[in-house]
Structure 1
């Protein structure tokens, strides 16, 4: 960690987090089953007080947590991040009843949250989502199980699909974005808090490259009421973008943590490995490659810190900075991990090697929460908007 950007207490906290990840979280993570929610790991994050910090800390602290945990245990980092992503809309936009019911359970690790935005035909183009929230003027739902039905008569019925949803189908509740006004683009979307036991809600796990759980959800006339709305009707896109503006820089922090782990492994390997009459580090091509890896990692870290600081200070350029941070950091991590594998050689491709693990983990962040191409579009849009505003 660069001393000039962190005060001593922050540096000490990051070191503590790395130790906790290695000593307390890694053993629990290793017992998990790939593709499924590791509830003991989520509970351990709660016992350590890290999940509660999702709701009491700012973006900068979130980035420090994600970077530090990712360095030693990517599974713990992802479990923490998904709790935050799924529950942040409840924290920021939920009613008192919604917050009191779910946030304490998320913080203690007894309830698993999920953020359900993407669809089979609307991934990065979030405004094109098609999950329908159709009005239920008749107030159906009478006579069905009160434990599963919402507290009052259904106002809408959700019908459609969600796909590529982290923690699905094993989450306890979902922040779901559905179209309440047809043909209105981003302005006709509403955010709902949907408990997993609502009738008509089913899901299927997907076998993905990344080891954390990802699945699809099917909504067959799932009942929701006004009490389930997060924020305001037809204003759900703001809920989604506000959440992503916070979590995009922290995705970058996740990437920086992985890049730093790969860089440190490479430094150790090239300093010890005998090759061509000396050590690998003595070869100029290797030394220059390691220097480039370090340069890009540090640049990405500083971009992430700048974006997080802008968010905490409520700066007007948060969307552009968040997009820049996610873009630079995730692309950098891909480069650094790939370079580390190359310099390690075949040993890095063996199952169970740190770099084999990081190589699988590092690919997905360039896609989720807005692919790299989407981030470039956001950056350009913000640049031109700033230029035109100054004319």
Structure 2
């Protein structure tokens, strides 16, 4: 019989019944950094951003980033063998990170990637457009503005030297009349790009404004549309990131992709089965959860490289409860959990987020996140994590002294 090693770190946590009990933290997992590139999977971790603590981090305020902490987190991910997926929804695109800050983030992160030989892919979207300004505009003119917005952002990404990710567009979802309008915009962009891009299909569970993307609410009909787009432009598509939290649909689409086009899973609920794969194949990864669980996910990918498939799956599966909790409904607030875990592990000086999004989850939710992260061996500095959790609880009226 094996036992889980524990540490001397303890913290008093409230239970579901409101009772306070002492929680003793376990030791971190035996995670390893790779000594060379990970080869059997292409894996990007979508990274969050850290705000300046003294900035006006309230809804609608321009984003002001702590560049040292933000970029240090990217180096943390590169050290574990991941590529960085930059300026994506995990970085609060459309939820606090405005385009000027995103453009600067792309430039700075791409420069850091070049300095260390790290992989980087960056999101190009249309979030510089203000949706109310498109209301009442001639539909063809509105589509033209969407196209120009994509072009402007693609120019920033390509000039920075990063692989572009064509992000799903709220503006396109708002003005497209039918499937043909989606195909017109995407086909034009794919004909114009100078290198293969990653397509990004983000479901409405992550962003309700994207409901009916590709011109239909039927997910399999939408998959047929995007499959046709990829087949017609396969030489310009490196892969597609699918973030629908629907493993069956992802596998259905994956099996039909042209040779050489990758399926990048964005399924933060079912990633162990999808990444490890089975007789039907496997997915590569472009995941927000991989940023949160980087030490464990990297160790699992290294085991896949070594042919230790069962153990690799065991490690990823051991993080699945944490992943599903972080991405629980309302899923678009998952970034709060990612930032909270980064704070617990010392990757940022304070638990703040641009746009005030640190208020996006409740105390009970974050207490359970702490428990699950500890159970998975992902509180990598237990004493610091215990101390910060106690501080968080005290600020929220649950001080250790009061509890005792």
Structure of higher RCO (CA pairs closer than 8 Å, 6+ residues apart): 2
TM-score (norm 2): 0.28
Higher helix residue share: 1
